[in-house]
Structure 1
Amino acid sequence: MKEEFFKAMDFRHACKVFDDTKKIPEEDLNFILEVARKSPSSFGMEPWKFLVVQNQELKEKIRPTCWNQVQITSCSDLVIVLAKIEDVKVESGVPEKRFGRRPMPQEKKDFYINLYANHLKDTLSSDKNIYEWTSRQTYIAVGNMMTAAAAIGIDSCPIEGFEKDKLEQILELDTTKYQVAMVLPFGYRLNEQSDQLRLSFDEVVEFVK
């Protein structure tokens, strides 16, 4: 299992050019998205949504907002990772529903809601602060998606280089509810990847005993 996992990690890289003649089978795409759905999140809020853009004309419109990167239009499927805004606010009622998924007395549920509201008091004070928090949560799902894709021979490329406001306008997003956190194309590489360049184990790991 360890060897297989490391094979996936070694296979994964930020793919610069996808083979636009190859499409990801629906079963494999759904596997990647299911991994995202099962990813952990702070307080179990699941503050994300995944838009899967398969329409080529829409990809063409999106590409200029992403620094004209070719991956946007050459990929098989373009996943726009959204961070939730409204749903994490206490007054939306959604956090209470999330806590209520596990059976518990109302007293205990109220305890968790108060803990959530007090711990995140500053975070929940503005949409900007909420976005900073929920967009970070999406990266957990993104990392899992990319590794899952690599495990079945599918490439990806996490893209932060995009004009957020323009992209949200093209997608006609209600930004009080959702905002773009990342653009994540999936597909199959056209060229072989170069060797990964990483710092050594000792440079990035320190044991405190």
Structure 2
Amino acid sequence: MDKTFEEVLEFRHACKVFDESKKIPQEDLEFILDAARRAPSSFGMEAWKFLIITNEELKAKLRPHCWDQVQITSCSHLVVILAGIESVKVESGIPKKRFARREMPQDKLEFYLKLYADHLKDTLSSDKNIYAWTAKQTAFAAANMMSAAAVKGVDSCPIEGYDKDAVESILGLDKAKFRLSMLLPLGYRVNEQSSQIRLSFDEVVEYIE
């Protein structure tokens, strides 16, 4: 039975040890990945891609370059979250296609495309700046995945501790198109989690009236 939103918040934690004998059903996996696909993105560019790794040899090859974290090899599915580079560049033609999905008149389409290019002039000036922008947005997709996973009783652990160049090399990424943003192992916990430790509501929320 799927969990309620409150139960999802209570269930989700950064799982440290996955049960290697348990695999996520394909139906639940697709539910999780579809949640990533539906995540919000700046200007609706959806500048991301998700690689799903189940090959044990590849996971083992990646692990030493991910601070030797056991989740990399013990998880059921290793999601590699990539940040788009080429797809957000105006000259690629892709931003225009993204805007065109809204079925607007040509003059309005050109208006939005110019607004996009002008507003992001500095951001689009280098691949380094683009990566800083698009990688930040992949957190939305990761958060959606982790929440969707929790709905199905699937655990997760967002990982940013890795040798970026080494992982990208092993995966054979074309860095002009995509770059590594995050690794997200998915699976089932071995032990029950300890209680969540969080700041109090009053420490993180301030009303301005």
Task: Check whether TM > 0.5.
Answer: yes
Q: Distance in 2 between matches of 1:103 and 1:52?
A: 32
Partner of 1:9 in structure 2?
9
- Paired AA for residue 62 in structure 1: L
Shift of 1:36: 0.5
- Paired AA for residue 92 in structure 1: S
Partner of 1:78 in structure 2?
78
Q: Distance in 2 between matches of 1:152 and 1:79?
A: 17
SS of 2:180's equivalent? strand
- Paired AA for residue 20 in structure 1: E
1:33-44 aligned within 5 A:
33-44=33-44
Q: Distance in 1 between matches of 2:101 and 2:144?
A: 24
Partner of 1:203 in structure 2?
203
- Paired AA for residue 74 in structure 2: S
Query: Share of identical aligned residues, percent?
Result: 66
Q: Distance in 2 between matches of 1:26 and 1:105?
A: 41
Q: Distance in 1 between matches of 2:13 and 2:73?
A: 18
Q: Which runs of 5+ in 1 are unaligned?
A: none
TM-score normalised to the size of structure 1? 0.98
Shift of 1:103: 1.1
Q: Distance in 1 between matches of 2:139 and 2:39?
A: 10
Partner of 2:104 in structure 1?
104
Q: Deviations over 1:31-65 (max 9, x none)?
A: 00001011111100000000000100000001011
Q: Distance in 2 between matches of 1:109 and 1:13?
A: 42
Q: Which runs of 5+ in 2 are unaligned?
A: none
Partner of 2:26 in structure 1?
26
Partner of 1:155 in structure 2?
155
Q: Distance in 2 between matches of 1:152 and 1:28?
A: 7
Moved over 3 A (4+): none
Q: Distance in 1 between matches of 2:4 and 2:94?
A: 39
Q: Distance in 1 between matches of 2:4 and 2:58?
A: 36
TM-score normalised to the size of structure 2? 0.98
Shift of 1:6: 1.2
SS of 2:181's equivalent? strand
Partner of 1:58 in structure 2?
58
Q: Distance in 2 between matches of 1:195 and 1:101?
A: 45
1:179 aligns with 2:193: no
Q: Distance in 2 between matches of 1:49 and 1:186?
A: 17
- Paired AA for residue 191 in structure 1: N
Q: Distance in 2 between matches of 1:143 and 1:196?
A: 17
Partner of 2:167 in structure 1?
167
Q: Distance in 2 between matches of 1:87 and 1:170?
A: 22
SS of 2:49's equivalent? strand
Q: Deviations over 1:85-129 (max 9, x none)?
A: 000000000000000011111110010000000110000000000
- Paired AA for residue 32 in structure 1: I
Partner of 2:192 in structure 1?
192
Partner of 2:140 in structure 1?
140
- Paired AA for residue 133 in structure 1: W
Q: Distance in 1 between matches of 2:35 and 2:4?
A: 17
